[in-house]
């Protein structure tokens, strides 16, 4: 984990108010694993006071990504002041970044067919995981749900070997309805499932008619303060007591979670 200035390479809008920010910081690009995140200072002053966490989409450390080795991409949806400030970044600017942080996804040794389930920007760490899975010669299907067609993650950014199935809440693109309704079709095919998205989507995974042998990992996107395990601003209840999403997660086995 490193804290320091990263140089902005590009900051492009790829969907409606959704941007890809490419940063250059060789140690972070080298060390990050799928599911980990970086903590960015969004403004040049102390407003906003807190950094904002963003998952890493792809890194030049993976030769499949065709990025220079010291660079990596994050993707952000503009939802408030911090992410709005990020839209002002231009190539050559410096951003104070802490990371990589958190526990990554783990592909089980026996996994051959990996099912990924994403809600909104939860797709970011799953695309990173898909890249790793393809390097390990796994078959990968990615089911992804978005509010509407304007928010859909472009297929051109998903590795072409991945079966990419889109659902939109309003039916404006792909399957109409929640992404969770697509999962049962794939349950007998998959031998591991990894998911990231809003809590209601993750919670819905507990009710799936699945084999108890199907391992499920989820990545949480809780509100965060320090991201260093100190402030306890990100804790979630689990079977092992309260756990910090920033240090003990963001990736957890589904069966450990206690949903309120």
Indicate the residue among 61 and 224 with the shorter CB distance to ligand FAD: 224
Indicate the residue among 37 and 190 with the shorter CB distance to ligand FAD: 37
Are 218 and 195 within 8 A, CB to CB? yes
Question: Of the candidates 198, 235, 200, 196, which has an alpha carbon nearest to the alpha carbon of residue 218?
Answer: 196
Under the binding rule (CB under 6 A), the answer on residue 229 touching ligand FES is yes
Indicate the residue among 37 and 164 with the shorter CB distance to ligand FAD: 37
By CB under 6 A, the residues from 224 to 243 that bind ligand FAD are: 224
Place of tokens 């007998």: 188
Going by their DSSP bridges, the two strands 113-119 and 18-24 should be labelled as unpaired
Among residues 40, 115, 182, 227, which is the contact residue for ligand FES, using CB under 6 A? 227
DSSP secondary structure string for all residues of 122-162: GHHHHHHHHHHHHHTT-EEEEEEEESSGGGPPPGGGS-TTS
Are 173 and 195 within 8 A, CB to CB? no
Among residues 11, 28, 55, 217, which is the contact residue for ligand FAD, using CB under 6 A? 55
Residues in CB range of 57: below 8 A, 6 or more apart: 20, 72, 73, 74, 75, 124, 125, 127, 128, 157
* 196 Rama sector, left if φ>0, alpha if ψ -120 to 50, beta otherwise: beta
Among residues 246, 251, 254, 257, which is the contact residue for ligand FES, using CB under 6 A? 246
Least distance from ligand FES to the Cβ atom of residue 97, Å: 16
DSSP code at position 257? B
* 141: number of Cβ within 10 Å: 20
Under the binding rule (CB under 6 A), the answer on residue 32 touching ligand FAD is no
By CB under 6 A, the residues from 93 to 122 that bind ligand FES are: none
Least distance from ligand FES to the Cβ atom of residue 237, Å: 14
Cα diameter, the chain:
51
Q: Choose the binding region for ligand FES from 25-33, 128-136, 199-207, 219-227 (rule: CB under 6 A).
A: 219-227
> Which among ligand FES, ligand FAD, none contacts residue 43 (Cβ within 5 to 8 A by kind)?
none
Least distance from ligand FAD to the Cβ atom of residue 166, Å: 18
Number of residues binding to ligand FAD, judged by CB under 6 A: 21
Query: Binding mask 117-146 vs ligand FAD (x if CB under 6 A, - otherwise)?
Result: ----x--x----------------------
Place of tokens 């995140």: 37
Helix, strand, coil shares, percent, the chain, to 5: 20, 35, 40
Least distance from ligand FES to the Cβ atom of residue 102, Å: 9
Least distance from ligand FAD to the Cβ atom of residue 188, Å: 31
The Cα 193–Cα 113 span in angstroms is 9
Binding site for ligand FES (CB under 6 A): 224-227, 229-234, 244, 246
Binding site for ligand FAD (CB under 6 A): 37, 48, 52-55, 75-77, 79-83, 121, 124, 221-224, 250
């Amino acid at each position: 984990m490193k804290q320091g200035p990263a140089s902005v390479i590009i900051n492009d809008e790829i969907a409606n108010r959704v941007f890809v920010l490419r940063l250059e910081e060789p140690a972070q690009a080298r060390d990050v694993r799928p599911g980990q995140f970086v903590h960015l200072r969004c403004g040049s002053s102390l407003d906003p006071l807190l950094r904002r966490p963003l998952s890493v989409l792809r890194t030049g450390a993976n030769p499949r990504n065709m990025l220079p080795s010291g660079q990596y991409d994050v993707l952000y949806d503009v939802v408030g002041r911090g992410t709005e400030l990020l839209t002002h970044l231009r190539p050559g600017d410096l951003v104070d970044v802490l990371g990589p942080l958190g526990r990554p996804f783990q592909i089980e040794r026996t996994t051959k067919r990996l099912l990924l389930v994403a809600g909104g920007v939860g797709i970011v760490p799953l695309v990173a995981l898909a890249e790793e899975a393809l390097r390990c010669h796994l078959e990968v299907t990615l089911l992804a749900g978005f509010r509407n067609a304007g928010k859909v993650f472009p297929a051109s950014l998903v590795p072409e070997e991945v079966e990419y199935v889109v659902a939109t809440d309003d039916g404006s693109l792909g399957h109409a309805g929640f992404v969770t309704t697509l999962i049962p079709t794939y349950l007998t095919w998959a031998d591991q499932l990894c998911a990231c998205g809003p809590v209601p989507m993750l919670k819905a995974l507990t009710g799936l008619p699945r084999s108890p042998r199907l391992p499920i990992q989820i990545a949480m996107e809780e509100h965060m303060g320090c991201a260093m395990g100190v402030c306890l601003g990100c804790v979630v209840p689990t079977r092992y007591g309260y756990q910090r999403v920033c240090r003990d997660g963001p990736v957890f086995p589904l069966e450990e979670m206690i949903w309120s």
